[in-house]
Structure 1
Amino acid sequence: MATIYYERFDHAPAHEPARLVGAHVFHDASCPVMYKFGVFMCGVACPDGASDAERVDAPFHVLIVLLSGSAELYDGEDRWQLGAGQFGVLPARGHYGFRRTGDAPMRHVWFLLNDEARWRLLDRGRPWVGTTLLGPHLYDAVSLFQREAQRYNEGVHDTLVLQTLEIVSRQLERLLVPPGQRPEREQRLLSLIDEIHRQPAADWSVPQLCRQIGLGTTQLNRLFLQHYGRAPAQLVFEIRMQLARKWLLNGQRVSDVAAALGYRELASFSRCFNRHFGCAPSRIT
């Protein structure tokens, strides 16, 4: 990614502080693995005063999703109006801007998405606007991801950074690529991930995953790394641990959780959980 481009910001102090996560270690909070998901930065904000950002030749696409208030995208003298329930895109490599309009606070979630094949569909040559019902889902997902990344940066080791980043990535895909328009291979992958969540105790070995999705081992590994940043076995393990923590917090017994995830020995489950979260499952309340 090119590092030299022009940015101009005019932001008045807001009653509600903005929160963000960036892929560079000097961002607060930071999460370098975001690069594997094609995301350079993301955040949530609710400005109630002046808010204007302009960029020239930025090496990333800007995506803004409004939950309330109003705004406009601009390209020279051209304007695109943006309201609640809509999203706006400023393609990479142009000279574009985005500003708050009207009197109402502008609650929104925003992304800087790397200029790469994954987000090629965003580049229509000029700014553009779409509609969506996913604004609150994206806002919640990015808020949770930011909090987990902040805790991780503060030295907390039982965070859910990768899990929440995965949620953000999947919500972005839902927003930008309707299910019927996704490539067949990606459709099969999403269906497979949903099936793992529904039946975590099933045989999800790499050979079984290959049979389910109809790919060889190398292709399967490449697909998982492209979309989730992890190898298949690693992602299956993390899904199981995520479900374990959720069920334990809901009051289920450790032995019942272990059985529901397919562990034949309670000790084996406890070791895996301890290795992943840094504490015994019995301590989760």
Structure 2
Amino acid sequence: MSTIYQEMFDVGEGTRQCSVGARIFHHPHLRALAEHDLLFAGHSEVDGHLHVERIGAPFHVVLFCAEGSGVVTDGEMQLTLGAGQMAVLPALGRSGFRSTGGSWRLAWLLVNDVPAWRMLAGDRVSIRPLMHADSLYQTMRVLCAEARLGPAGFAAQALLLAVDLFRRALASHADEAVAARLQAVFEPVRHAPAQDWRVEAFAQAYGVSVAQLHRLCVRHLEATPQQLIIHQRMRRARELLVAGAGNVAAVAEQVGYQEVASFSRRFSRHFDVSPGALLQALRRAPGELPVV
């Protein structure tokens, strides 16, 4: 892969930056960065101007915002990066970041575009929630400070903590992505609740075995696939009742229940109110949505 790329780097007098690089000519440098396929690690205390843009860079840029806010660019698109958020600027694109005049505390990593970090690859910049952003920022500060001490410092130990915190942040996002994908797989039930839905069909749609789908649903959504099917049917039943789509029997049939009693028991367990009681509450207070 070519390492030739375009870069614009403009730092105002009020911005302080510290970094450590993986290569011998970086100052300071820490060889252990390369063992984790990292090119640079650092932090910025922005008070005024900071503007960085790159086109075709062969590395990912990851920003961790601990305080304040700024702008991340993706081509012509602009995204706000605020406290408690992480921005991933994938390799080879046209992206950057800049301050908006206020104070802004950032930690950042330049990550080599290698299979070990393939979860960072993509076509677009992404903004993700970041738990414990300040911990990661402070760890990066310690890493840079210890790197300046050379062999007498504890930079290698600080790096291990920084990488662990970074991987934890990525794992948290990966879990959220899996949960969102699983929820999307079961969404069709809500739009056709009377259909004879089978867990095998959802497993096939997700690309896993029935047993694996069961494990994923329990882990990420705290419910079995069958419970998720029921949840979607009950959700749709409540929508129909509130919309005045019919009496209890009619709605039961629309969401796939042949026995009204069975539907009523399931609805009552799910919302802690019977469908009949819900309808009565709606008649007493038209236009108001009962809390169930």
TM-score range normalised by the length of the shorter chain: 0.5 to 0.7
**1:175 maps to which of 169, 174, 183:** 169
Runs of 4+ residues deviating >6 angstroms: none
CA distance in 2, matches of 1:25, 1:92: 23
Q: Deviations over 1:213-255 (max 9, x none)?
A: xxxxxxxxxxxxxxxxxxxxxxxxxxxxxxxxxxxxxxxxxxx
Q: Distance in 2 between matches of 1:149 and 1:87?
A: 24
Give the letter for the 2:31 counterpart: P
1:33 is matched with 32
* 1:70 paired residue number: 69
> Does the CA contact (< 8 Å) of 1:72 and 1:99 recur in 2?
yes
1:68/1:104 contact within 8 Å kept = no
Q: How many residues align?
A: 176
Alpha-carbon distance in 2 for matches of 1:143, 1:12: 20
* Cα deviations by residue, 1:49-92 (Å, 9 ceiling, x for unpaired): 11110001101100011111211111232111111111111100
Tell me, in whole angstroms, the C-alpha distance in 1 between the residues paired with 2:142 and 2:78: 33
Secondary structure in 1 aligned to 2:124?
coil
Specify the alignment match of 2:60 in structure 1.
61
In 1, the alpha carbon distance for the partners of 2:5 and 2:173 equals: 35
User: Following the alignment from structure 2 to structure 1, what is the Cα–Cα distance between the partners of residues 153 and 40?
Assistant: 19
How far apart are residue 26 of structure 1 and its match? Answer: 2.0
| Cα gap change, 1:26 to 1:133, in 2 (>3 Å) | same
2:67 match: secondary structure: coil
The partner residue of 1:120 within 118, 121, 139 is 118
Q: Deviations over 1:128-165 (max 9, x none)?
A: 1001122111111111111221111xxxx443222111
CA deviation vs aligned residue, 1:102-136 (integer Å, no higher than 9, x gap): x4211110110110112111123100100112211
Query: Do structure 1's residue 4 and structure 2's residue 4 form an aligned pair?
Result: yes
Taking the aligned partners of 1:73 and 1:55, their CA distance within structure 2 comes to: 12
Counterpart residue number, 1:133: 131
**TM-score (norm. length: structure 2):** 0.57
User: Does the 8 Å contact 1:20/1:42 carry over to 2?
Assistant: yes
Residue 108 of structure 1 pairs with residue 102 of structure 2? no
Q: Identity rate of aligned residues, in percent?
A: 33
RMSD of aligned residue pairs (Cα, Å): 2.0
Query: What is the match of residue 93 of structure 1?
Result: 92
- The 5 A counterparts of 1:1-285 are 2-14=2-14, 17-101=16-100, 103-152=101-150, 157-178=151-172, 181=175
Q: Which residue identity lines up with residue 143 of structure 1 in the other structure?
A: R
Deviation at 1:179, TM superposition (A): 9.3
Contact 1:72-1:79 at 8 Å conserved across structures? yes
- Distance (Å, rounded) in 2 between the aligned partners of 1:180 and 1:21: 28
* SS of residue matched to 1:107: strand
C-alpha distance in structure 2 between counterparts of 1:180 and 1:75, whole Å: 22
- In 2, Cα distance between equivalents of 1:78 and 1:180: 24
**Aligned-partner Cα distance in 1 for 2:9–2:41:** 16
Q: What does the per-residue CA deviation read over 1:30-63, in whole Å, with 9 as the maximum and x for residues that have no partner? A: 1122111121101011111111100011011000
AA aligned opposite 2:132: L
Classify the secondary structure of the residue corresponding to 1:130: strand
Contact map agreement 2:128 2:173 (CA 8 A) in 1: no
- 8 A Cα contact 1:29 1:149, kept in partner: yes
Cα separation, 2, equivalents of 1:37 and 1:2: 21
| Separation (CA, whole Å) in 2 of partners of 1:116 and 1:48 | 34
Q: 1:45 to 1:180 in 2, by over 3 A?
A: closer
DSSP-derived class of the 1:147 partner: helix
Find the aligned partners of 2:61 and 2:174 in 1 and give their Cα distance.
24
Partners in 1 of 2:168 and 2:48 — Cα distance? 31
Cα gap change, 1:69 to 1:80, in 2 (>3 Å): same
2:214 aligned partner = none
Name the aligned partner's letter for residue 125 of structure 2. P
CA distance in 1, matches of 2:135, 2:153: 20
- Secondary structure of 2:156's counterpart equals helix
Please state whether the residue corresponding to 2:13 is helix, strand or coil.
coil
